[in-house]
Structures are given as C-alpha cells and as structure tokens.
C-alpha cells in the first residue's frame, strides 16, 4: 500500500525505539521520511537503512528543546523536499535517559526543567517551525505523542505525567488555531510499550505486571502504535482534529 506516497513526514526522536518503528512504517507506505534526532549518528544510520530499502529519507541532527535546532530541522526538510506534509512529535525524555521515579518533592528542579524542555517545549518549538510551511501549502498533519499515564494519574513520575498532559492541552488549542488552514492536529496516548531498546529484566517484569491491567493481555510493542500514526497522517483522518487516541490494549477507556 502507498497511503502516504510522496508525503514528506518528520519524525522527531526517530533514531531509536518507537520513533524508529514510526519511520519504518511511514516509509513502507510511500512517505519520504525525515529522521530528526539529537543522536545524529543514530539518525544517519536509520536514514541510510531506509535508503538501502529503496525509500527516500533524510537525517537531521535535532535538539527539539532549542528553537534554532527545530528551525534548522524545518529548513533542511524544505531544502531537500520542498514541502512538509506531517510532523510526528515523538522526541521525549522517559527511558533514554531514565527519569527520576519517586515522590514529587524528590524530583530535582533541574530534571523537571530539562524534561519539560524536551517533552513540552520541544513539541511547541517543532510545531512552530513547520506550521508556516503547512499554512503556505494549505494542508498538514501534526501528531503529538502524549501518554496513557495522563489518564491513569500515574504516581512516582509527576514531571513526566505533567509534561504529557500538557501535550494534550497543546494539541487541542493548536487544532482550534489551525483548522482554518486545513491543518489537522491530533495526539496519541500509548500505554507502557516495550521498546526495541528494552532489555532490562526488572523493567520487563514491570511490563508484564502492567499487562494484566489491559483488556488485551499482552505486551505492547512499537508496531502496535504504527497503525494509529499512519491513520492520523493519511487522508483517512482528514475530518478528525483535536483528538487524543488512546492505544494501550484497553487499559484506559474514555
């Protein structure tokens, strides 16, 4: 299938884990993928792999928390492809590097600021960088990655949950602002997902425990999220905006 044939889609945090799965899934549907990641070597490797598989891909070293870097991401995309059809705001601090887990008063202020800078400010900056180009072409798809922890009120990582709640608020307000320009803005809230990079036995045990809270009692992998991203980037979702899709095997129902 080529649901996204020749569409130019940026994936932040695309060099590893779930972001890598997004890049591969989008490319398989015909998209030209921009792999944006703070790990430049990792982004280069993913883009090279996609190229070897016959796909058109560009790697851009990007620190989403910095306006100059996110602007450069958009500029290099335009220079290479001439348009920006979609942005998947996937880059976030959670497991790489791992966040502090514990009572909220024990969260270092510096870590709070760093996490907000990537998880929330980064979404804002990347949207700000690409939206002028989407406005000029009269279309665009923005997919922000939130988290099921927002609906569960997960404890022991207040800064992470708060940042992901902010992503939902940003999604709704931005959808209102950009509707007149035919730009769709939606979010996905994944459940706890076993990434390609997860190999810690204690972490995998926690995943197994969380699995029991789901209606579909199995582990959630990156491929379980690719379909939702494809849907939100394609014409199938043209009349859907401001929404948050929970993809967690039925752990949360709203």
pLDDT at 152: 86
Residue 96: what pLDDT?
64
**pLDDT at res. 130:** 98
Residue 199 has a pLDDT of: 55
- Those residues of the chain that have pLDDT short of 70 are 1, 95-97, 196-206, 254
Q: In this predicted structure, what is the pLDDT of residue 248? A: 86
Edge-to-edge strand ranges of the sheet holding 86-89: 57-61, 32-37, 8-12, 86-89, 140-145, 183-190, 244-247
pLDDT at 192: 84
Q: What is the pLDDT of residue 232?
A: 98
pLDDT of residue 84: 98
Which residues are catalytic, by number?
A: 160
- The set of residues, in sequence order, having a beta carbon less than 8 Å from that of 146 and lying 6+ positions away, is 164, 165, 167, 168, 171, 187, 188, 189, 244
The pLDDT of residue 200 is: 56
Q: What letter does residue 99 receive in the DSSP assignment?
A: P
Half-sphere exposure (Cβ direction) of 12: Cα atoms closer than 13 Å: 34
Residues ≥6 apart with Cβ < 8 Å to 155 = none
At 103 the pLDDT is: 86
Taking alpha carbons only, the member of 204, 85, 193 closest to residue 148 is 193
pLDDT of residue 83: 98
């Amino acid at each position: 299938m080529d649901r996204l044939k020749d569409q130019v889609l940026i994936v932040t945090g695309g060099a590893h884990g779930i972001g890598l799965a997004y890049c591969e899934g989008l490319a398989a549907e015909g998209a030209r993928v921009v792999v944006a990641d703070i790990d430049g070597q990792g982004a280069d490797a993913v883009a090279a792999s996609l190229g070897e598989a016959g796909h058109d891909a560009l790697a851009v070293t990007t620190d989403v928390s910095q306006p100059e870097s996110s602007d450069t991401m958009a500029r290099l995309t335009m220079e290479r492809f001439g348009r920006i059809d979609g942005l998947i705001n996937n880059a976030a601090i959670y497991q790489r590097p791992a966040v502090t887990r514990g009572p909220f008063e024990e969260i270092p202020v510096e870590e709070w600021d760093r996490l907000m800078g990537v998880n929330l400010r980064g979404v804002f900056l990347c949207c700000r960088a690409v939206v002028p180009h989407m406005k000029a072409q009269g279309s665009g798809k923005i997919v922000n990655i939130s988290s099921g922890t927002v609906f569960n009120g997960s404890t022991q990582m207040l800064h992470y949950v708060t940042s992901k709640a902010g992503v939902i608020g940003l999604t709704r307000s931005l959808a209102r602002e950009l509707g007149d320009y035919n730009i769709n803005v939606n979010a996905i809230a994944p459940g706890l997902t076993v990434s390609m990079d997860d190999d810690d036995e204690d972490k995998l045990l926690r995943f197994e425990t969380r699995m029991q809270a789901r209606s579909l009692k199995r582990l959630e992998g990156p491929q379980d999220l690719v379909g939702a991203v494809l849907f939100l980037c394609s014409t199938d979702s043209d009349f859907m905006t401001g929404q948050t899709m929970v993809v967690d095997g039925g752990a949360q129902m709203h």
